[in-house]
Chains A and B, each alone.
Chain A
Amino acid sequence: MLQLNMTVNGQPVSGQAEGRTLLVQFLRDELGLTGTHIGCDTSQCGACIVHINGDAVKACTMFAAEAAGAKVNTIEGQANADGSLNRIQQAFQDNHGLQCGFCTPGMVMSATALLRHTPKPDESTIRTYLEGNICRCTGYHNIIKAVLAASEQDAFAQNPR
């Protein structure tokens, strides 16, 4: 067993893991942060995306020990301080950017990473950036609209198909 220390959503945390423990298992089973979902477990779907030192990564395809000492951000850390939805989350709700919600944590984490370095992405940039996030429900259009809205752009002006 390894004793792992990292900063998760701004809080120092400590937990036990084996070498084989995936980051997503550590977050869900050891820390109880079940907002990070496991969709495919084969690095295809993006439901497990979290941020490591600001970079979006698939937590199902990284060992927990590799995140030792890192700043990890998950969907649980995204809401505003008063518990209300942040701008991006609210935009997903307002634009019907989710149906079953299974892909949503990964979508929000990817969108957050995108908007951090590209504050006003166009539609094609958003679609390309979200290539690693699969949604079985929405057909993506409303997700694209949500990201446009979150970046304070008019979704209809850009005419998402």
Chain B
Amino acid sequence: MYDFELLTATSLNEAVTALQNEETQALAGGQTLIPTMKQRLASPERLVSLTRIKALQGVTVTAKEVVIGAATRHADVAVQAAACFPALADLAGHIGDPAVRNRGTIGGSLANNDPAACYPAAVLACGAVIETNLRRIAAEDYFDGMFGTALDDGELITAVRFPIPEIAHYEKFVQPASRFALVGVFVARFDGVVRVAVTGASQMGVFRWAEAEAALSNEFAPVAIDNLAIDPAELIADAHAAQTYRAHLVAVMTKRAVTAAHR
């Protein structure tokens, strides 16, 4: 590993101040950033670790919302959100493998916005709000194509606020080598209105499937989308799956998510 400086922040202020310097980058669980640095795909001069900032950790529940601190590990979301938002806890509990979940964080995942990552599907399907040290960003305005987000340089995610759906489920077809989603679909229903967000499939990153949302809002059952199909043209094609296969999987994962959806 090339040489760089590692700072450990113990307060949000300390981290935000350190990030004013444009050569400094945030380090959360390191499950994406460390491999990226080893490959020299990123080479910041300075890292500021967020893992000791208490204010960024933990799950808080109110009647209608779950608020997750940005530096909360996937393993902790899997446990702490299990009672209030089981679909989200289940998603967190199936990210990567146990060791990845014991380090990786929701803030790191959303800042990275990997086109095959799981959390973006939950954020978009629930219309969650990304809180930063500067502002609140609606899910619709946050994701900006593969690995792209609305975050400015030095801007830090502090928390993610999820409205709690009536029922929801995330269904993921695992890419067996990476354990990311080959295709993942998060289905959530709020007051009868269904939202469907798809990850892993599109070259544009996570997206909502409007036709399926309309059909499922009308009738919340797998048959409701029997006649719908995703246009494969904009989907990802790689060694693991062709565009047409991914398009097929989007429909299958959506149906499975609808079948499995519960409180």
Contacts and interface: CB of A to CB of B under 8 A. Distances in A.
Interface residues of A, number: 27
Interface residues on B, range: 20 to 34
B31 A61 contact: yes
Interface in A122-156: 129, 131-133
A132 B97 contact: yes
Contacts, number: 71
Which secondary structure dominates chain A's binding surface?
A: mixed
B1 interface: yes
Contact of A55 (B6, B27, B102): B102
Interface stretch (A26-34, A38-46, A74-82, A83-91): A38-46
Given A43-B35, A61-B103, A65-B8, A131 B97 contact: yes
Given A43-B31, A65-B8, 16 more contacts: A2-B6, A19-B3, A19-B4, A20-B2, A22-B34, A41-B38, A56-B98, A61-B34, A62-B30, A62-B103, A65-B6, A66-B49, A110-B99, A131-B97, A131-B98, A132-B97
Interface of A: 2, 18-20, 22, 41-43, 46, 49, 52, 55-58, 61-63, 65-66, 110, 113-114, 129, 131-133
Interface of B: 1-6, 8, 27, 30-31, 34-35, 38, 47, 49, 51, 75, 96-100, 102-103, 179
12 contacts: A19-B5, A20-B2, A42-B38, A43-B35, A46-B97, A61-B34, A110-B98, A113-B98, A132-B96, A132-B100, A132-B179, A133-B97
